[in-house]
C-alpha cells in the first residue's frame, strides 16, 4: 500500500474540559474518497478544522506527505495542498463568480496577498487559466460574470468548491457539500465530487447516507469525538456497533 497522503496520530482538541476530538489515529491514501460520518456533535467539523488548520490541535500530530504540519497555519496548509470548502459557502458576494476563483488562484500562484492587490490585477494568464478550469470542473462557466451573491444556494456551494479547487489542492475537504440542496442540485454535486477524485484526494462530511454509500471508497465513523469504526460502505452498513451508536439500531432507509 502507498504511503498515506495524510495521517494523524493521537489527534485531539479540547475546549476547556470538553474533548471535541480525542485519540484520533487516521490515514487516507492518495486518490481516495473518504467519507467521515457520525451523529450531530460527533466532532466531524472540528476534525476537519484541525486538518485544515482552522483550529489548533490540543494534542497529537498531523502529517501531510510525511511532513509534520501540526502547527502549520491554515494559509500555509493551503499552499502545501490542503483546501477546505465550508458548510456555509464562503464567497465574496459582491465579486463575480470568476473573480472569486481568480482570488483563490492568485493565492496559489503568488502566495499570500491582499484583496486590494487582487482588485488591481486585471489579467494574469496563469491565474485566469486556473480560475476558468475551476469553473469548468464545477459547471459554473455560464455564471462567470454573475455576482456571487446572486447565485442560488446550490450554485453558491458549488462556487465554494470551485474556490477551493482554484488553490490546486492535493486534498480537498468538503463539509456537508449538499446540505440544503434540491434533489437536482444533489445529483449535480454528486457527479462533481466523483469527477474530482480523478484529480485529488477527497475527504467528505455528509449526512446524506444514500450519497455516502454510493460515492465513498471508505468511511470513517466518529462518535463522541473518537473513531468508532472504519471500513468500506458495505462493512459500515453491516456494523452493528455503528447501527446502535449512530442510529439507535435502526437502519431502514438511512444507513
One of 3.40.50.300, 2.40.50.100, 3.90.1150.180, 3.90.1720.10 is the CATH number of 82-168, namely 3.40.50.300
- 135-146 pLDDT, tens digit per residue, is 999 999 999 999
Distance of alpha carbon 53 from alpha carbon 56, whole angstroms: 6
Is residue 223 within 8 A of residue 38, CB to CB? The reply is yes
Distance of alpha carbon 39 from alpha carbon 50, whole angstroms: 19
What is the band of 2 on the pLDDT scale with cuts at 50, 70, 90? confident
pLDDT above 70 coverage of the chain, percent: 87
- Cβ of 53: how many Cβ atoms within 10 Å? 22
- 174-200 pLDDT, tens digit per residue, is 999 998 899 999 999 999 999 999 999
What is the band of 211 on the pLDDT scale with cuts at 50, 70, 90? very high
Cell of 41: 456533535
| pLDDT of 247 over the 60 cut | no
Distance of alpha carbon 90 from alpha carbon 174, whole angstroms: 12
Q: Do domains 1-75+171-176+201-255 and 82-168 have the same CATH topology?
A: yes
What is the band of 115 on the pLDDT scale with cuts at 50, 70, 90? very low
Minimal CA–CA distance to 105: which of 126, 85, 121?
126
Is residue 138 within 8 A of residue 158, CB to CB? The reply is yes
- 76-95 pLDDT, tens digit per residue, is 999 999 999 866 667 889 99
Give the pLDDT confidence score for residue 103 in this predicted structure.
87
CATH topology of domain 1-75+171-176+201-255: Rossmann fold (3.40.50)
Ranges of each domain in the chain: 1-75+171-176+201-255, 82-168
Question: In this structure, what are the phi and psi dihedrals at residue 209, rounded to the nearest 5 degrees?
Answer: -70, -30
Give the pLDDT confidence score for residue 114 in this predicted structure.
45
Give the pLDDT confidence score for residue 245 in this predicted structure.
78
List, as one string, the DSSP characters of the chain.
-PPPSEEEEEEEEEETTEEEEEEEEEEE-TT-EEEEE-STTSSHHHHHHHHHTSS--SEEEEEETTEE-TT--HHHHHHHTEEEE-SS----TTSBHHHHHHHHHHHHHH-S--HHHHHH----HHHHHHHHHHHHHTT-GGGTTSBGGGS-HHHHHHHHHHHHHTT--SEEEEESTTTT--HHHHHHHHHHHHHHTTTSEEEEE-S-HHHHHHH-SEEEEEETTEEEEEE-HHHHHH-HHHHHHHHTT--TTT-
Give the pLDDT confidence score for residue 33 in this predicted structure.
98
Beta bridge partners of residue 237, listed in sequence order: none
- Mean pLDDT of all residues in the chain? 89
| pLDDT of 128 over the 50 cut | yes
| pLDDT of 119 over the 60 cut | no
Is residue 134 within 8 A of residue 126, CB to CB? The reply is no
For the whole model, what pTM was predicted?
Answer: 0.89
- Cβ of 210: how many Cβ atoms within 10 Å? 13
| pLDDT of 18 over the 80 cut | yes
Give the pLDDT confidence score for residue 250 in this predicted structure.
41
Question: In this structure, what are the phi and psi dihedrals at residue 183, rounded to the nearest 5 degrees?
Answer: -60, -40
Amino acid at each position: 500500500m502507498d504511503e498515506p497522503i495524510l495521517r494523524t496520530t493521537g489527534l485531539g482538541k479540547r475546549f476547556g474540559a470538553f474533548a471535541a476530538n480525542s485519540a484520533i489515529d487516521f490515514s487516507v491514501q492518495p486518490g481516495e474518497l473518504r467519507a467521515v460520518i457520525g451523529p450531530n456533535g460527533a466532532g466531524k467539523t472540528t476534525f476537519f478544522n484541525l486538518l485544515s488548520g482552522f483550529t489548533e490541535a490540543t494534542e497529537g500530530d498531523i502529517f501531510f506527505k510525511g511532513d509534520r504540519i501540526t502547527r502549520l497555519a491554515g494559509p500555509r496548509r493551503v499552499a502545501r495542498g490542503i483546501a477546505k470548502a465550508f458548510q456555509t459557502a464562503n464567497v465574496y458576494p459582491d465579486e463575480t463568480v470568476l473573480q472569486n476563483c481568480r482570488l483563490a488562484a492568485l493565492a496559489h500562484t503568488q502566495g499570500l496577498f491582499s484583496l486590494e492587490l487582487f482588485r488591481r490585477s486585471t489579467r494574469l494568464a496563469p491565474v485566469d487559466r486556473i480560475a476558468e478550469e475551476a469553473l469548468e470542473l464545477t459547471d459554473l462557466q455560464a455564471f462567470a460574470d454573475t455576482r456571487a451573491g446572486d447565485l442560488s444556494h446550490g450554485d453558491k456551494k458549488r462556487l465554494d468548491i470551485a474556490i477551493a479547487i482554484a488553490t490546486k489542492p492535493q486534498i480537498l475537504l468538503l463539509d456537508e457539500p449538499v446540505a440544503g440542496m434540491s434533489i437536482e442540485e444533489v445529483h449535480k454535486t454528486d457527479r462533481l465530487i466523483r469527477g474530482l477524485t480523478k484529480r485529488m484526494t477527497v475527504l467528505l462530511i455528509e449526512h446524506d447516507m444514500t450519497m455516502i454509500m454510493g460515492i465513498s471508497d471508505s468511511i470513517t465513523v466518529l462518535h463522541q469525538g473518537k473513531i468508532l469504526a472504519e471500513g468500506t460502505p458495505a462493512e459500515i452498513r453491516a456494523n452493528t456497533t455503528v447501527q446502535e451508536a449512530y442510529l439507535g439500531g435502526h437502519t431502514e432507509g438511512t444507513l
